[in-house]
Structure formats: structure tokens, C-alpha cells
């Protein structure tokens, strides 16, 4: 997927000067060698261990030279000049300082995960008891999702997802990048919330559109859920008060138990 992503970056980005930095997080599929061969202009950083999303981006941005930084997942495909459009939008709206776009699934239907509302006790409760899954996209029971908004208009948001996130370099430095306490997931939520102290107002434009491929096997899904739950715990610990932490940790524990029971029940029935 990384090779397809890089190909789309170079094919779909015109009219601006840019550099591409890739951090190879201890891949075992020969990606680093393929990148060196097919994309010699890429600045490649090879790590002998998986640094996670936040640390890898922190490492890459240390050698980046641009006034704006673009974080882009390797499982994405850039469409119709999305990077140039996002950069132009940022230049026209410098006060927002953090920018995102519109993400689609592989079949070109809307992938609504390009942005989120700030996590709250209510949203965590809905997640923990399964309401967000039952009422997906509902503004009341899936409150972090922005309801049924199709990401088809310019709009201020609480959180721009790291799969496509452009940020002013000065702001990135003011924030000291991602907090390394987050291995994967949650780091962009923390970043966007911290950015408010520096006057940033994260914003989405539908003009910058990419494909963001969805997950794969159940094993990968299980690993993903563990990382998401850990990230939620770290976020709660950092941003909520003592009472919120107590309730939040209890809800997370309940969420884990519910998912364990559901998984065991599925195994028995299969």
C-alpha cells in the first residue's frame, strides 16, 4: 500500500514545492528497499523497531523543511490534487492552523473518519455500552461522529484525523509535535485539543479528498481494538479531572468485559 500511496502523491501533486519523508516502522515486506529503488527522491528513515504513529511522525518532522507539514497514512491514495488543494486552502485560511479533508473508502463511498468531535463522558458511555455501533452516525448516540454530515462542506471540527492532517510548522513546534505517550490512536485528538491554547481552529475542506483503505483480518482488528482502548485510557488520564478519570476508567473496563463476552459468545456459536 505504501508504494501505491507514494505513486499517488507524486502523480497528483502539481504546482507546489514539496518533499516526501517516509519512516519505515520495521517493516518485514521489503518496503524500504522498494522505496529506495522506485522513489529515490524520498527521504527514507528506517527504524529497527515499530515506533508507533506519533513517534514516527515526530522523527520525520525533525528533518522536514516546509512551512506546513502534511501527515499522510501509507494506506491512502491521493485523489485529484488533494495535497495541493489542501495547501492552498491552508494558505487562504492561515488562522486555522490545522487542516483536514474528506476521506473515502475503496469503493468511493464516504469514510467519515477524517474528523471527530472531542471525547466526552457521554461519548465514552455510548462507546462502552455499544450504542455507537448500534446507532452509527447518530448525533446523539454516536456523538463523536458529527452525525450524518457528509464532509461535503467547509466546517470547523474538534479533531482532524492523522490519516490526512496538515499543520502549520510553527504550531507543530509550539506543541512539540505528538505526545509520545500515545503509541497509536489518540495522538491527533490530544494534538488538536492542545492546539486550542495557541489559537488554532481545526477545519475540514471537502476539496481535499483521498481514499483511506479500511481494515483487514480479525487478528488485526483485535490488535487495533487493544490500541484504541489504550489510547482512550491515556487521553482520559491526560485531559479529564479526577472524577472523570474514575468514571472513564470504569467505562473502559466495562467496555473490555463486554467485548470479551461478545467474542467468546461468537466463538461458541461459530
Q: Which of 164, 151, 158, 150 is nearest to 189 (CA)?
A: 158
**Distance between CA atoms of residues 126 and 26, nearest Å:** 36
Q: Is the pLDDT of residue 130 over 50?
A: yes
Q: What is the pLDDT of residue 264?
A: 56
Residue 243 in any domain: the answer is no
Mean pLDDT in residue range 144-171:
96
**Chain segment 4-14, per-residue pLDDT in tens:** 999 999 999 99
Q: Give me the domain span that covers residue 183.
A: 2-119+146-217
Residue 227 in any domain: the answer is no
Residue 234 in any domain: the answer is no
Q: DSSP 3-state helix, strand, coil percentages of the chain (rounded to 5)?
A: 45, 20, 35
Residue 239 in any domain: the answer is no
Q: What is the pLDDT of residue 79?
A: 97
Mean pLDDT in residue range 154-172:
97
Residue 263 in any domain: the answer is no
Residue 27 in any domain: the answer is yes
Domain count, the chain: 1
Q: What is the pTM of this model?
A: 0.90
Contact 232, 186 (CB under 8 A): yes
Write the CATH number for 95.
Answer: 3.90.550.10
Work out the percent of the chain whose per-residue pLDDT is above 90: 78
Q: Is the pLDDT of residue 258 over 80?
A: no
Residue 131: partners with Cβ closer than 8 Å, 6 or more residues away: 125, 141, 142
Mean pLDDT in residue range 146-171:
96
Residue 173 in any domain: the answer is yes
Mean pLDDT in residue range 85-93:
98
First to last CA, the chain: 32
Residue 199 in any domain: the answer is yes
**Distance between CA atoms of residues 53 and 16, nearest Å:** 26
Amino acid at each position: 500500500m505504501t508504494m501505491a500511496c507514494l505513486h499517488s502523491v507524486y502523480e497528483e501533486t502539481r504546482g507546489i514545492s514539496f518533499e516526501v519523508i517516509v519512516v519505515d516502522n520495521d517493516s518485514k515486506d521489503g518496503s524500504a528497499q522498494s522505496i529506495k529503488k522506485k522513489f529515490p527522491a524520498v527521504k527514507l528513515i528506517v527504524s529497527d523497531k515499530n515506533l508507533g504513529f506519533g513517534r514516527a511522525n515526530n522523527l520525520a518532522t525533525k528533518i522536514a523543511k516546509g512551512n506546513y507539514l502534511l501527515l499522510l497514512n501509507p494506506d491512502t491514495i491521493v485523489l485529484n490534487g488533494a495535497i495541493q488543494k489542501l495547501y492552498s486552502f491552508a494558505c487562504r485560511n492561515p488562522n486555522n492552523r490545522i487542516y483536514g479533508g474528506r476521506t473515502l473508502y475503496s469503493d468511493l463511498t464516504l469514510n467519515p473518519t477524517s474528523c471527530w468531535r472531542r471525547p466526552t463522558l457521554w461519548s465514552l458511555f455510548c462507546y462502552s455500552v455499544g450504542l455507537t455501533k448500534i446507532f452509527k452516525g447518530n448525533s446523539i448516540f454516536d456523538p463523536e461522529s458529527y452525525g450524518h454530515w457528509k464532509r461535503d462542506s467547509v466546517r470547523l471540527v474538534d479533531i482532524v484525523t492523522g490519516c490526512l492532517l496538515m499543520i502549520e510548522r510553527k504550531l507543530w513546534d509550539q506543541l512539540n509535535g505528538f505526545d509520545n505517550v500515545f503509541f497509536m490512536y489518540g495522538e491527533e485528538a490530544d494534538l488538536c485539543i492542545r492546539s486550542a491554547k495557541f489559537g488554532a481552529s481545526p477545519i475540514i475542506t471537502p476539496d481535499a479528498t483521498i481514499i483511506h483503505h479500511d481494515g483487514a483480518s480479525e487478528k488485526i482488528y483485535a490488535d487495533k481494538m487493544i490500541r484504541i482502548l489504550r489510547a482512550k485510557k491515556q487521553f482520559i488520564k491526560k485531559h479529564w479531572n479526577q472524577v472523570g478519570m474514575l468514571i472513564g476508567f470504569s467505562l473502559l473496563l466495562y467496555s473490555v468485559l463486554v467485548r470479551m463476552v461478545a467474542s467468546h459468545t461468537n466463538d461458541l456459536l461459530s
